[in-house]
Amino acid sequence: MATLAGVDNFIVSARKYRPATFETVVGQQHITNTLKNAIRNNQLAQAFLFCGPRGVGKTTCARILAKTINCENLQPNGEACGVCHSCVSFQNGSSFNIHELDAASNNSVDDIRSLIEQVRIPPQAGKYKIYIIDEVHMLSQAAFNAFLKTLEEPPHYAIFILATTEKHKILPTILSRCQIFDFNRIRVEDMATHLAGIAQKEGISFEPDALHIIAQKADGGLRDALSMFDQIVSFSDSKVTYRNVIDNLNILDYDYYFSIIDSLLKEETAGTLLLFDEILSKGFDGSHFISGLSEHFRNLLVSKDVATLKLLEVSEGIKAKYLQQSQASSVSFLLSALNIANQCELSYKLSKNQRLQVELALLKMCHLPAAFSSFASPVNAASPGGELKKKPDTSAVKQELESSVKPVVPILTEQPVQYQKAEPKPEALPKPEIPAPAAPAEKPKVFIPNSGTSSTSIKIPSLKDLTAAAVAAVEEEDPYLKGEEKEDFTMDDFLKQWSDYAAKIKSESKNMGLFTIFISSAPVMLEPYRFEVVVGNKSQETLFRDDKHHILNFLRQNLKNYNIEVQTRVDEVKAAKRPYTTSEKYQHMASKNPQLAELRKRFNLDVDY
């Protein structure tokens, strides 16, 4: 019998610890302070509208406001005394001045008419009669219209407090007659602190991480958090631990996500797929996993900057893990991985093989670190074994080349050339001829780059030492711009400049065949700073080669890297043959729809060539 009596007397935490004063309301200080000031200054409105998500304290604040308005011994801070006749009768549920109406079950015109009849009767004790209408958006259209006139001109002793979770369903004429208070979702920190206070009062041992998990799962609703708290207490025998919360609420552990990111950074494809399989074997859905992974990437991005660190709604222990892992992850990797996860989440429900969608996204993420590291390091910076090697010192070779070139340039003299601006005669000067060294075994050759040379060019002597005619001749043979800049860039940066050049071709309308090459196939990176474009035939290859120096100069200047090279490859099988002329377009359409030829024959139509 004692056990049964204990069960009968049990009160859930949401009711047992329901706030009784404005000070005890959690996370809504902007509303409670306004209401207290209105009561102290005697500036009460005729109607209040409390709106916001479920479990944030709308009905609780309505009851506290109703009790405080009729308190006979109002405290200086605007709180009710709790001991006067009005406060006691309200707490016992026997007050004749405070009426509650559930509009979800009393939403007809007759219910509102009954309410209007009660409003006409003044209070027998106290100053005001308060009517709390919960879920007011459930009233029918006719009920709203019947209630409108009374709400517009109520008696001086009547105050209406309306509460709703869906403000957009209330008539604008009702909204215009109310003071509207928007309740916020309760912060995770505030809920965790409130749960810790209840646990201490009840003598329940807890871990701070466990309370944070409960608060996050509640999604801003304190009532949901208290319900889950009672559930965990019953499950764990008054020991609220992180592991008990994870197991009972079916929440995917943080450790899984941290392990997944570590495997992605190490490019361990097998370990990543095995971890995902373990998650699925525990009953978690792939959509739930990819959504949580996106949230994890977001938290890592937030952790990269101290200014945004406050956006992390986790405990201090989990926050330290985020900080540690964010230092090992680059922003480029996190943004690209977050984009892949987001695309996977969008296409997950439409896919027939949903597991493959997630596994494919994970495999793409595994190869991201290698792609970014290739751009971050200089050309030839990594050896085949994966170890970094120093770039060879070429200063001695350059000096030797310069000394070897000077004797064989016939236009160079011992005295510096004097330029005459008044009487320039560049046409009288011979074109420079740079012969190859006589002994190639002893001295390296000097190659002058041109459009037909695919080998790496070595820098020729400075143009300052040449005459004007020599400069013009060298520029005519070598149309490529020269520079020492070797700034790193991403593949996205390269593709953006590629698209900009295509738009430039289209706007100038100088070569639409070249424009077709740009929009038909995107370049592929063979190695750092070296790219390949697939063309459909030899004609396209010739078009690209003729304009190659303009393309490379544009890319090198805008990306500030003069090591960029782009080559073409003819692939007539993979490259789709596109119809260009009117006749080709007609043949293409007729092959897909034979009735088009019959239509042309019947009406004696001709193709406009």
Under 8 Å between Cβ of 204 and 240: yes
pTM of the predicted model as reported, rounded to 2 decimal places: 0.53
Summarised one tens digit per residue, pLDDT across range 305-350 is: 888 888 887 777 888 888 888 888 888 889 999 999 999 988 888 8
Query: Which pLDDT score is estimated for 135?
Result: 87
188-249 has which CATH code? 1.10.8.60
Amino acid at 394: T
Q: Does residue 269 register a pLDDT over 80?
A: yes
Backbone CA torsion sign across 307, 309, 312, 315: negative
Q: What are the phi and psi torsion angles at 524 (to 5°)?
A: -120, 135
Alpha carbons 217 and 212: distance in angstroms, whole number: 9
Cβ neighbours for 197, distance < 8 A, ≥ 6 positions apart:
none
Query: Which pLDDT score is estimated for 360?
Result: 92
Query: Which pLDDT score is estimated for 382?
Result: 40
Under 8 Å between Cβ of 369 and 522: no
Which among 72, 127, 125, 117 has a CA at the least distance from the CA of 94? 125
Query: Which pLDDT score is estimated for 419?
Result: 40
Under 8 Å between Cβ of 48 and 175: no
Q: Does residue 35 register a pLDDT over 50?
A: yes
The CATH H-level superfamily of 13-182 is P-loop containing nucleotide triphosphate hydrolases (3.40.50.300)
Summarised one tens digit per residue, pLDDT across range 202-234 is: 888 888 888 888 888 888 888 888 888 888 888
Alpha carbons 365 and 373: distance in angstroms, whole number: 14
Q: Where are the beta strands (DSSP E) in 461-528?
A: 524-527
Q: Does residue 436 register a pLDDT over 70?
A: no
Alpha carbons 81 and 64: distance in angstroms, whole number: 11
Helix (H) or strand (E) holding 569: strand 565-570
Query: Which pLDDT score is estimated for 273?
Result: 92
Where in the chain are the domains?
A: 13-182, 188-249, 254-376, 404-415+426-477, 491-570
Query: Which pLDDT score is estimated for 399?
Result: 54
Query: Which pLDDT score is estimated for 568?
Result: 86
Mean pLDDT calculated for residue range 112-133: 85
What DSSP character marks residue 306? S
The CATH H-level superfamily of 491-570 is DnaA, N-terminal domain (3.30.300.180)
Q: Which residue has tokens 């007539």?
A: 572
- 254-376, which class in CATH? mainly alpha
Q: Are strands 530-535 and 565-570 parallel, antiparallel or unpaired?
A: parallel
| Summary mean pLDDT of the chain | 77
Alpha carbons 221 and 357: distance in angstroms, whole number: 33
Q: Greater confidence, 482 or 270? A: 270
Alpha carbons 238 and 235: distance in angstroms, whole number: 8
Q: Which residue has tokens 């003044």?
A: 122
Query: Which pLDDT score is estimated for 374?
Result: 54
Under 8 Å between Cβ of 196 and 162: no
Summarised one tens digit per residue, pLDDT across range 78-100 is: 888 888 888 888 888 778 888 88
Query: Which pLDDT score is estimated for 274?
Result: 92
Q: Does residue 553 register a pLDDT over 70?
A: yes
Q: Does residue 579 register a pLDDT over 70?
A: no
DSSP string, 408-460: G-TT--SSPPPP-SSS--GGGSPPP--PPPS-TTTS---PPP-TT--SPP-PP
Under 8 Å between Cβ of 340 and 361: yes
Under 8 Å between Cβ of 375 and 491: yes
The three-state DSSP-derived secondary structure of 41-92 is CCCCCCEEEEECCCCCCHHHHHHHHHHHHCCCCCCCCCCCCCCCHHHHHHHC
Under 8 Å between Cβ of 302 and 295: no
Query: Which pLDDT score is estimated for 294?
Result: 92
- Helices 188-202, 222-236: inter-axial angle, 10-degree rounding: 40
